[in-house]
Amino acid sequence: MLKFLSKVRIECNPLDPRKTACMELLAQCNARKAKESNPACQVEMHRRTDDHPPQVVVTYVNGVEEAIDAASTPAQAIRQRILDRGQLLETEQMFREAGESWPVIIPEKELHQSFPGIKPKKAEEKSQ
């Protein structure tokens, strides 16, 4: 998860019962395996004393910063969100390295064409 990030800032009040996702994500970020995947990623914990809802602010390797409300979002959903965004970053980088434009624009007429790799008759035969 950390390999896609340059910085993770977790903000919560330690006495707030809504801090669960923050603490779980902090544990995941401080795990040995996560640290080894990107030792340069900064993980910061800001302890708040006000009633501000817990939040996680992540900065991706491309510099984009995203604030996630951790009061209403479980840690696994935050983690999955980071992984999904990271997959998109990897795909974008792969296309740029290959000299292709990003985002890839698929013409409308090609969206409705059938895919030649799928053989509908074979699929129907197997289901019988």
Lowest-confidence segment of 14-23, 45-54, 108-117 by average pLDDT: 108-117
By the 8 A CB rule, do 62 and 8 touch?
Answer: no
Q: What pLDDT score does 107 carry?
A: 84
Alpha carbon distance 91, 85 (integer Å): 10
Q: What pLDDT score does 122 carry?
A: 57
Distant-in-sequence, close-in-space partners of 61: CB < 8 Å, separation ≥ 6: 4, 5, 6, 89
Lowest-confidence segment of 7-21, 70-84, 113-127 by average pLDDT: 113-127
- The H or E element that residue 67 is part of is strand 65-69
Asked if pLDDT for residue 56 goes beyond 90, the answer is: yes
Fold of 2-98: Glutaredoxin (3.40.30)
pLDDT tens digits, 20-50: 999 999 999 999 998 898 899 999 999 999 9
Q: What pLDDT score does 124 carry?
A: 56
Distant-in-sequence, close-in-space partners of 67: CB < 8 Å, separation ≥ 6: 55, 56, 57
pLDDT-derived band of residue 6, with 50, 70 and 90 as boundaries?
very high
